[in-house]
């Protein structure tokens, strides 16, 4: 048995893959079996190279194995890998919190660490609920969100998400969330409804949660900053917290460091993960305003009873600090502006491809929709996936939406190759 087959037979016998229909997976003949990764590419066990078209689930914002990140990780590993954060301080998490608040939108002054995007969101929901419960508004127990939002897979996060197929099985036990439909009438209509729901239910709402500017997992849908700005104004008017989930959009994915900056919005809560550690370790943070933080000061009852074992993990914190330094030293966002223009021009052109009904782009996101149903389960994208793999690129279509979200610092030649492969694969599928 060669190595590939050996790994696959172990994998098929034991591993349950996320977001994967295992029946199909077990019967599939050619899954990717990876060996190593470098820059914006990874390599399989047979030595074939693939461009990572979505930065490994939007995570590896600075590419794979960035030498400075590897170095920062090993330097910290020599010193201290893990200690608890409950009532204990250490340099990486303390300095990181200070540095994060410096780059964060104004008004966010406290950092609560967790493990990944879902837990960063979970923290934000629980903070909002507990804040109102102990600050005179216990009836504020509901959330408000946009249809099509995606905020993660833990029970709280999936409750405020609006992708029907991910929620379906858990519908009876999810926490209460009102949702504004984002249908054919577009985002203006959706935000109008969101505003109406907000005004009508303000007294019951703990928070509104949105992915600022770009709704990722639902199909890379993009909306105008003005709508976010107006929502911020309305949440202020009704004194309802605004949570910006920047797990996908942060770290320059849409152009500026935070997508909230497009609209000059200062949220009450901001969730970050993924690019936060350059995708090298699972770690996340929820940033909050001083008002929220101070609502938890006082006697023991007011403690925020929340925490995961790896909160503030020194390895993750050291990495996250180095990520911020690399963004600054390598002028990552300024260089990405040129790459974003290449993406925008290519997706403009892709509008002419056969069977393409819509294309869009913002920053380091480019997406097109193929004709047909908008269902996440639509198989057509799978054909594009296979065509792209044969040509040396890893794409992960969302139903009929074919998109790229490469590392923010992808070399121009890799980006051009990725765009060319995408075009050929759409034509061939
Ligand atoms: N929020 C957003 C906007 C996301 O895109 C994701 C994941 O894609 C999450 C939250 C959940 O993050 P994680 O998969 O790290 O739990």
pLDDT tens digits, residue range 335-363?
999 999 999 999 999 999 999 999 999 99
Choice from 152, 258, 282 to test ligand 1 binding pocket (greatest atom count within 8 A of CB): 152
Residues 60-92 as b or e (16 or more Cβ within 10 Å = b): bbbbbebebbeebbeebeeeeeeeebeeeebeb
Does 380 have pLDDT greater than 90?
no
CB of 90 closer than 8 Å to CB of 336? no
In order, the DSSP letters of 204-252 are GEEEEEE-SSEE-TTT-EE--HHHHHHHHHHHHHTT-EEEEE-TTTTTT
Q: Which residues of the chain does CATH 3.40.640.10 include?
A: 69-329
How wide is the angle at C-alpha 131 spanned by C-alphas 101 and 206, nearest 5°? Answer: 95
User: What is the average pLDDT score of the chain?
Assistant: 96
Instruction: Pick the residue whose CA is nearest to atom 10 on ligand 1.
Output: 151
- Indicate the pLDDT class of residue 322, thresholds 50, 70 and 90: very high
Does 373 have pLDDT greater than 90?
no
Closest ligand 1 atom to residue 274 Cα is 15
- Verdict on whether the full-model pTM lies above 0.95: yes
Tokens of 429: 């599928």
Share above pLDDT 70 across residues of the chain, in percent, rounded to a whole number: 99
Q: Which residues of the chain does CATH 3.90.1150.10 include?
A: 32-65+333-428
Exactly one of 116, 245, 268, 414 is catalytic; name it: 245
Does 376 have pLDDT greater than 70?
no
Ligand 1 centroid from CA 121, angstroms: 8
**Domain 32-65+333-428, CATH 3.30.70.20 — does that match?**
no
- Indicate the pLDDT class of residue 29, thresholds 50, 70 and 90: low
Residue 394 among the catalytic residues: no
Q: How far apart are CA 311 and CA 294, in angstroms?
A: 20
**Mean pLDDT, to the nearest integer, of 258-286?**
98
**Mean pLDDT, to the nearest integer, of 251-255?**
98
- Classify domain 69-329 at the CATH class level: alpha beta
């Amino acid at each position: 048995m060669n190595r590939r087959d050996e790994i696959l037979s172990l994998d098929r016998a034991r591993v349950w893959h996320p977001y994967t229909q295992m029946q199909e997976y077990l019967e599939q003949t050619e899954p990717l079996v990876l060996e190593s990764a470098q820059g914006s590419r990874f390599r399989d066990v047979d030595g074939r190279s693939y461009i990572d078209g979505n930065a490994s689930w939007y995570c590896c914002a600075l590419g794979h194995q960035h030498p400075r990140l590897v170095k920062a990780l090993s330097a910290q590993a020599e010193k201290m890998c893990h200690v608890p954060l409950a009532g204990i301080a250490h340099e990486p998490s303390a300095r990181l919190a200070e540095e994060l608040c410096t780059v964060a939108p104004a008004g966010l002054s406290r950092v609560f660490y967790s493990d990944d995007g879902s837990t960063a969101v979970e923290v934000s929901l629980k903070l909002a609920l507990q804040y109102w419960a102990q600050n005179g508004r216990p009836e504020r127990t509901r959330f408000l969100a946009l249809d099509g939002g995606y905020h993660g897979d833990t029970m709280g996060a999936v409750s405020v998400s609006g992708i029907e197929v991910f929620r379906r099985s858990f519908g009876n036990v999810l926490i209460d969330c009102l949702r504004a439909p984002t249908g054919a009438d577009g985002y203006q209509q959706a935000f109008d409804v969101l505003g109406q729901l907000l005004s009508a239910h303000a007294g019951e709402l703990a928070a509104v949660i949105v992915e600022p500017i770009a709704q990722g997992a639902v199909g890379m849908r993009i909306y105008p900053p003005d709508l976010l700005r107006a929502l911020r104004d309305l949440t202020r008017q009704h004194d309802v917290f605004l949570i910006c989930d920047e797990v996908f959009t942060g770290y320059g994915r849409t152009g500026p460091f935070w997508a909230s900056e497009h609209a000059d919005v200062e949220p009450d809560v901001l969730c970050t993960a993924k690019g936060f550690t350059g995708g090298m370790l699972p770690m996340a943070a929820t940033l909050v305003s001083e008002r929220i933080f101070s609502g938890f000061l006082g006697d023991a009852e007011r403690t925020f009873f929340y925490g995961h074992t790896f909160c503030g993990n020194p390895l993750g914190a050291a990495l996250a600090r180095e990520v911020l330094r690399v963004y600054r030293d390598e002028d990552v966002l300024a260089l990405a502006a040129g790459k974003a223009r290449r993406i925008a021009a290519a997706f403009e052109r892709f509008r002419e491809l056969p069977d393409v009904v819509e294309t869009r782009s913002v920053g380091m996101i480019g997406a097109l929709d193929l004709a047909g149903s908008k269902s996440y389960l639509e198989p057509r994208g799978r054909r594009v996936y296979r065509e792209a793999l044969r040509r040396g690129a890893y794409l992960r279509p969302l139903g009929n939406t074919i998109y790229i979200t490469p590392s923010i610092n992808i070399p121009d030649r890799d980006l051009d190759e990725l765009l060319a492969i995408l075009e050929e694969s759409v034509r061939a599928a």
